């Protein structure tokens, strides 16, 4: 059965090249070419119902975060209605781009931005993977800012760049203990940073 596809210039672009009827993505590209449209190498096709979803996403460059534009809940996740139920917008992005989400798995963010719907920032994992990923990222950010710090130091010293990161993690509901683990500092230190009793000068 054929459905309408909308073909865009590239994955991150809002630049519509053509609409065409086809059975799947690959044949949408073929049909478009047969109809005389010149498709750039990175052209990207959406089924028409999906196009309504992507219209609410601020699609940017392939490596940037694509934020859900409407209805973001307190916990930071985008909200949308898909197949007759409320779902996180990142989950719908996965469903549309990558296919079904296996039972027991979560759609996780590489970028830690919960309202982000860029399929290349999403991956499947368990709750345990999620925690391990956060720890790995915490260590990595330390390694980037100061190679001496990190897991080798029980009481690591924070740098200014860590402060907004810590406040953001806390605001997104991650416990002080987990944040403390990630950054290798005490829970009290995390509390004081979040409550702005320390590092007050950092926004």
Residues that bind Zn ion (CB under 5 A): 65, 111, 113, 116, 118, 121
Any idea what the Cα angle at residue 133 is, between residues 179 and 194, rounded to 5°?
20
Nearer to Zn ion, 169 or 180 (CB): 169
- Strand partners of residue 46: 6
Nearer to Zn ion, 80 or 176 (CB): 80
Q: Least CB distance from residue 93 to Zn ion, whole Å?
A: 10
Nearer to Zn ion, 115 or 190 (CB): 115
Q: DSSP H helical segments within 35-154, as ranges?
A: 48-54, 89-97, 127-145
Q: DSSP H helical segments within 44-183, as ranges?
A: 48-54, 89-97, 127-145, 162-171, 176-183
Nearer to Zn ion, 58 or 129 (CB): 58
Q: Least CB distance from residue 70 to Zn ion, whole Å?
A: 17
From residue 36, alpha-carbon distances to 15, 20, 21, 30, 111 in Å are: 17, 11, 14, 10, 39
Q: Least CB distance from residue 116 to Zn ion, whole Å?
A: 3
Q: Least CB distance from residue 137 to Zn ion, whole Å?
A: 13
Q: Least CB distance from residue 134 to Zn ion, whole Å?
A: 15
Residues counted in the chain: 203
Nearer to Zn ion, 65 or 101 (CB): 65
Nearer to Zn ion, 57 or 116 (CB): 116
Q: Least CB distance from residue 68 to Zn ion, whole Å?
A: 11
Going by C-alpha positions, the residue among 45, 51, 53, 11 that lies closest to residue 28 is: 45
User: For residues 183 and 67, what is the distance between their CA atoms, to the nearest angstrom?
Assistant: 27
User: For residues 157 and 179, what is the distance between their CA atoms, to the nearest angstrom?
Assistant: 14
């Amino acid at each position: 059965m054929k459905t309408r596809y909308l073909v865009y210039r590239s994955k991150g672009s809002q630049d519509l090249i053509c609409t065409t009827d086809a059975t799947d993505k690959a044949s949408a590209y073929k049909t478009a070419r047969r109809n005389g449209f010149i498709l750039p190498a990175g052209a990207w096709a959406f089924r028409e119902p999906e196009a309504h979803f992507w219209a609410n996403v601020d699609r940017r460059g392939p490596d940037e975060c694509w934020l859900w534009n409407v209805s973001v809940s307190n916990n930071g996740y985008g909200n949308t209605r898909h197949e007759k139920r409320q779902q996180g917008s990142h989950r719908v992005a996965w469903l549309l781009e990558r296919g079904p989400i296996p039972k027991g798995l979560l759609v996780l963010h590489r970028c830690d931005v919960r309202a982000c719907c860029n399929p290349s920032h999403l991956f499947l994992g368990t709750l345990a993977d999620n925690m391990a990923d956060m720890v790995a990222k915490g260590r990595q950010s330390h390694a980037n800012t100061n190679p001496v710090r990190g897991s080798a130091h029980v009481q690591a010293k924070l740098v200014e760049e860590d402060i907004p990161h810590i406040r953001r993690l806390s605001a997104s509901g991650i416990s002080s203990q987990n944040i403390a683990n990630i950054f290798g500092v005490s829970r009290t230190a995390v509390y004081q940073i979040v409550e702005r009793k320390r590092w007050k000068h950092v926004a």
